[in-house]
Chains A and B, each alone.
Chain A
Amino acid sequence: MTPHAATTNGSGAGAAPLLLDVDGISISFGGLKAVSSFSLKLPKGRLAGLIGPNGAGKTTVFNLLTGVYKSDTGTIRLGDRVLTGLKPYQRAAAGLARTFQNIRLFPDLSVLDNVRIACHLRARETMAGAIFRSRYHTGEERAMTTLSMELLEIFDLAHRCDEQAKNLPYGDQRRLEIARALATSPKVLLLDEPAAGMNPQEKRELRDLIRSIRDRFGLTILLIEHDMGLVMDICERITVLDHGVIIAEGTPGEVQQNPRVIEAYLGSTEGGSPVPAASANGEEA
């Protein structure tokens, strides 16, 4: 299967400089090629979507991008840093943050601590400073708390800052994960099914939240989602994956009409798009 012809350079124009440049990454598990020759170009400020049927390999792509899996081929670049071959914590330091499909919070720790841990990346403390409570250490601890609380305010979680993360309701846990990822002050944010399990009202709020954090923090966001309404609504460009291969790429309108996409989701090429236009009720396809 070859990628859809509409892959110019995937950015829709050479206008904004490329922030995330993924070129031909792939991985096999045993004999199964889970992702083959995946490429993606994200300019700064883009809100892009990655969709595909279940098992298409979307989370695998995220794992490849963040370094959890080692790619067999290809390169990944963030700005002018080459990420290929770097470990996950190094990629986080370079500015790539993510959330997880099956929420991986730190369950026994408090909400505030979950976010403060993510601040550790940008901190300058030393172990000696911690043991002897140097001036700088105490100041930085306070600063981390302040910054974390600010972030929690944005996500409306500040009133729950002392609760254990595992006791939060599901929607709050998802938002906490995003807040935590933001605390690493990333340049690119990868969101893995942030709307899973949310009701329509929550999805609306999430949509506004994603847009607002993109603007406020100057992020570039790549989003995996099954909720077509949400995806079509906020994503500027969408990449469609099926069986590990890109089958389409373009604006929401283009992707909706693409026969290969329709076939991948429905298994036939009959008329009518199963992929609804942006709708208020946001039901899954």
Chain B
Amino acid sequence: MTDTTTSNRLREEALRLRPSAALAPVRSAAPFLACILLAVVLQVWVRPLMGDFYAKLLLDIGTNVILAVSLTMVNGFTGQFSIGHAAFMAVGAYTSAAIVYYGSFRLWGDPLMHGGTLSAMMHGRSDPLLMSGDLLFLGSLVAGGLLAAVCGYVVGLPSLRLKGDYLAIVTLGFGEIVRVLIQSQTTDTLYDPEQIAQTPIYELPRYLGGALGFSGLPFYSSLFWAWLAAAVTLVVAFRLKYSTYGRAFLSIREDEIAAEAMGIHTTRYKVRAFVIAAFFAGVAGGIFAHTVGVQLNAQELGFQKSFDILIMVVLGGLGSISGAAIAAVILTILPELLRQPPCIWGWAMAFIVPAAVLWIALSRRRVRTAVLIALALGAWEAMRWLARETGANLADYRMVLYALALIIMMIVRPQGLLGIREVWELRRPRPLAARGDRGAGGEPGTAGGRVSL
């Protein structure tokens, strides 16, 4: 079996086993159409049902899902240690903000919203679905992502050749550099249409608000855009993981030397993962910049934000897409919960305890998990009581709790919530492609369902 015959054989088999020409485009595009559908449903039907507070929370969740899933592509899939992810977010945010703000001036002479329903978080449904402002916003998101990807390439190429610790420092340093560079710019933002029309385009990026932040941005971000981006990120991450590329990434994480011996150009794949992750972080940044109530300031996009994202990824499980997403949801909601910690005794008594008893009855092995959950609930109640007695505000302790959770998690359960597996793989790990992609002569699947996205 020489290399040419295998390559030929692979190609022949590939041509023989591929799906029909009619079916293939459907299979390819279907998930993306589903993303659009989901986003539309959220914006047009779900949004009017909820108040502004919950809508913003849902939007934040969407943004954090993008950030967590993109970081897991680097830290989880390839096992590298990048802790400056918020830098790419900042690059994307400022790029997108500059394009929308100054573009708005150039096109319409004012920095107001010119978007349609899909961009309207606060307004009603009187506008048409998609308007030119929406397209400007979409373009700015893509541009922000692309510029962030370029930065990812520039930073990743030299540093990904080195051992894990160095990459961590370089990414942290890069994050700080971006922040410092942005904050050292002039604090002026131009707001006179005449002036803006006359300033040449390459001069405009100097006026980003510097240390005072970039204010006056139109609030284009809506549930539609945030969750469209989040869903697309999830689809791309999933498709990458369950493909030969994903396997190559994971092999680098598992054993880099063995991966190289099997012919994988480890540095190239590490850089690719880094660049894709940076792209999505840039998009998330763009969405963040145009969210209601956000004053874009590089100060907030420093290492604290990077660590926030890192904690989501680590607690969810390095390498698990669903883990990162779930952790993003939980850790976005948690600060709100900590502000007003809800009482869970009622819920516990009514639902959780009977369910737990039933669960334990079904399997002796689960006792330990059940005990842990009971301890966690008890700890929550104790914390609530303590906070009430001492008059302390739990929200102040948020980062302390996160840090403790991180340390304890690393000692007790280093693989995080889900480890490398996805939520639907909790029984047994699946091979990383659908059972249905078994050509001729495959065995019927053992565990796991048939998923072929």
Contacts and interface: CB of A to CB of B under 8 A. Distances in A.
Contacts of A117: 244, 247-248, 250-251, 259, 262, 264
Contact of A218 (B2, B10, B437, B442): B2
Interface string B11-32: 1111111110100100111000
Contacts of B12: 143
Nearest to B276: A127
A92 B292 CA distance: 53
Nearest to A153: B441
Nearest to B241: A130
Interface residues of A, number: 66
B7 interface: yes
Interface stretch (A181-189, A229-237, A267-275): A181-189
Given A121-B262, A134-B24, A143-B14, A127 B437 contact: no
Interface in B223-262: 236, 239-240, 243-248, 250-251, 254-255, 257-262
Given A109-B250, A122-B3, A143 B258 contact: no
Interface stretch (B42-50, B380-388, B425-433): B425-433
A189 to B, nearest CB: 11
Interface in A235-269: none
B350 interface: no
A270 B198 CA distance: 98
Question: What is the predominant secondary structure among interface residues of chain A facing chain B?
Answer: helix
B63 interface: no
A75 B2 CA distance: 23
B238 to A, nearest CB: 10
Interface stretch (A24-32, A34-42, A144-152): A144-152
Given A118-B262, A130-B239, A113 B432 contact: yes
B18 A105 contact: no
Contact-residue bracket for chain B: 35 or more
A1 interface: no
Contacts of B419: 108
Contact of B447 (A113, A116, A121, A162): A162
A5 interface: no
B257 A144 contact: no
Contacts of B443: 149, 158-159, 161
Contacts of A87: 260, 265
A21 to B, nearest CB: 18
Contacts, number: 221
A120 B433 contact: no
Contacts of B248: 117, 120
Contact of A136 (B14, B239, B442): B14
Contacts of B24: 133-135, 138
Contacts of A123: 10, 244
Interface in B141-174: none
Given A109-B251, A144-B10, A162-B430, A135 B244 contact: no
A137 B18 CA distance: 8
Question: What is the predominant secondary structure among interface residues of chain B facing chain A?
Answer: helix
B13 A147 contact: yes
A155 interface: no
A221 interface: no
Given A88-B260, A95-B3, A130-B239, A145 B245 contact: no
Contacts of B437: 138, 141-142, 145
Given A98-B261, A104-B258, A185-B6, A218 B1 contact: yes
B2 A187 contact: yes
B339 interface: no
B128 to A, nearest CB: 30
B272 A127 contact: yes
A185 B429 contact: no
A146 B13 contact: yes
Contact of A120 (B14, B21, B264, B429): B264
Interface pairs A-B: 7 shortest CB-CB: A139-B18, A121-B263, A143-B13, A92-B263, A185-B6, A106-B254, A146-B439
11 contacts: A92-B262, A109-B429, A124-B10, A125-B244, A131-B240, A133-B28, A133-B453, A146-B442, A149-B443, A161-B443, A218-B2
Interface of A: 66, 68, 87-89, 92-93, 95, 97-98, 100, 104-110, 112-113, 116-125, 127, 130-147, 149-150, 158-159, 161-162, 164, 180-187, 217-218
Interface of B: 1-3, 5-7, 9-19, 21, 24, 27-29, 236, 239-240, 243-248, 250-251, 254-255, 257-266, 272, 419-420, 428-433, 437-443, 445-447, 453
Given A109-B250, A147-B10, 20 more contacts: A88-B257, A107-B255, A108-B420, A113-B431, A116-B247, A116-B431, A117-B262, A117-B264, A120-B248, A120-B263, A123-B10, A131-B236, A133-B24, A133-B27, A133-B453, A138-B17, A140-B10, A141-B243, A146-B13, A181-B262
